[in-house]
């Protein structure tokens, strides 16, 4: 449909359309579905996102099977209730939603991969924060998701959204960038400003590696979504203030793709390098999966002859 973000910007300006409306029309044409049905599908995604945030922030929260992640969203919630957060209570609302979602993912709960399971908390963190602090309607939230999906489609087609291919910059970086662009559109920013928000947000996370401890989407994945949400909101504010990315948005996407492909395999979701390769990271892996070397020796003892 579109080969670049710049093409989307030009189309939006020419036809006086929002990113959301462009994506809705595209889905109607591609799926041969009515507008009502297309919006209904996105409503289901929004409902899944809301359920995950609520599950992660209700009662005692959730814990992963390994026990290494979980209940931090509850800790953040209690912190908000009793403190004036250093980065501002509104920002920490986004953090709470992001952490809650990824904790539900780590606990094998149902989430909406946006664009991946590992980055599933970033968009909900931004979206439900804006609902609470800026009174977004359900319709605006649906439009937010359509706008972000349009931008995400272009990034996926021109680069990658997979950590195994491009590192965490491709996952959380993309989620943060498309959330930022959608936020700008939601609050009346121009298509050009949305493009700058995307570029700034993605630029901020270039080079972010994918180094899951023990190969699991837990450490440091959960907390990186918190950073992704904050980055998206900050970049949206910068763009709405008139700040522009000096590097065109599509060149930023190209740079992300090249950086990702140049990352060593140990830093692309293999659970070998980075934090996964630290002594503590290795110890966690051994505790979860056992010492494979010792297991092998136990199963295949050396034969002795008398």
Q: Is residue 294 part of a domain?
A: no
CA distances from 258 to 159, 162, 169 (A): 8, 13, 11
pLDDT at 163: 96
Q: Is residue 306 part of a domain?
A: no
Average the pLDDT over 132-151 and give the result: 98
| pLDDT beyond 70 at 41 | yes
pLDDT at 136: 98
pLDDT in tens, 90-115: 999 999 999 999 999 999 999 999 99
Q: Is residue 9 part of a domain?
A: no
Q: Is residue 6 part of a domain?
A: no
In this prediction, residue 292 has a pLDDT band, given cuts at 50, 70 and 90, of low
Give the residue numbers spanning the domain of 66. 16-285
In this prediction, residue 295 has a pLDDT band, given cuts at 50, 70 and 90, of very low
| pLDDT beyond 70 at 30 | yes
HEC-encoded secondary structure of 123-166: HHHHHHHHHHHHCCCHHHHHHHHHHHHHHHHHHHHHCCCCHHHH
Of residues 306 and 75, which shows the higher confidence score? 75
pLDDT at 306: 31
> d(Cα 166, Cα 151) in Å, to the nearest integer?
17
Which of 200, 169, 196 shows the shortest CA–CA distance to 268? 169
Number of domains the chain contains: 1
Q: Is residue 98 part of a domain?
A: yes
CATH code, 45: 1.10.4100
Q: Is residue 296 part of a domain?
A: no
> d(Cα 15, Cα 26) in Å, to the nearest integer?
14
Of residues 290 and 182, which shows the higher confidence score? 182
Average the pLDDT over 259-267 and give the result: 97
What predicted TM-score, i.e. pTM, was given to this entire model?
0.93
- Tell me, what DSSP letter sits at residue 63? B
Q: Is residue 81 part of a domain?
A: yes
pLDDT at 1: 80
Q: Is residue 42 part of a domain?
A: yes
pLDDT in tens, 159-187: 999 999 999 999 999 999 999 999 999 99
In this prediction, residue 303 has a pLDDT band, given cuts at 50, 70 and 90, of very low
């Amino acid at each position: 449909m579109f080969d670049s973000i710049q093409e989307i910007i030009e189309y939006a300006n020419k036809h006086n359309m929002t990113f959301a409306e462009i994506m809705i029309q595209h889905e109607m044409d591609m799926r041969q579905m009515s507008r009502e049905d297309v919006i209904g599908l996105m409503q289901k995604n929004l409902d899944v996102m809301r359920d995950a945030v609520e599950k992660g922030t209700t009662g005692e929260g959730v814990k992963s099977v390994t026990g290494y992640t979980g209940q931090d969203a509850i800790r953040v919630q209690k912190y908000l209730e009793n403190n004036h957060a250093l980065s501002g209570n509104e920002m920490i609302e986004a953090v709470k939603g992001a952490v809650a979602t990824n904790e539900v993912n780590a606990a094998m709960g149902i989430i909406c991969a946006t664009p991946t399971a590992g980055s599933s908390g970033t968009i909900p963190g931004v979206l439900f924060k804006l609902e609470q602090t800026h009174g977004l309607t359900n319709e605006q939230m649906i439009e937010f998701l359509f706008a972000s999906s349009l931008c995400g489609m272009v990034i996926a087609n021109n680069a990658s959204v997979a950590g195994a291919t491009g590192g965490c910059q491709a996952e959380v970086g993309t989620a943060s960038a498309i959330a930022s662009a959608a936020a700008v559109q939601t609050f009346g920013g121009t298509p050009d400003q949305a493009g700058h928000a995307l570029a700034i947000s993605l630029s901020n996370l270039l080079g972010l590696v994918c180094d899951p401890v023990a190969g699991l989407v837990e450490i440091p994945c959960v907390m990186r979504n918190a950073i992704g949400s904050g980055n998206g909101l900050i970049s949206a504010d910068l763009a709405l203030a008139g700040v522009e990315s000096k590097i065109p948005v599509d060149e930023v996407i190209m740079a992300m793709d090249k950086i990702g492909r140049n990352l060593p395999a140990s830093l692309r979701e293999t659970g070998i390098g980075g934090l996964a390769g630290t002594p503590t990271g290795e110890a966690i892996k051994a505790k979860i999966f056992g010492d494979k070397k010792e297991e092998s020796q136990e199963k295949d003892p050396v034969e002795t002859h008398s």
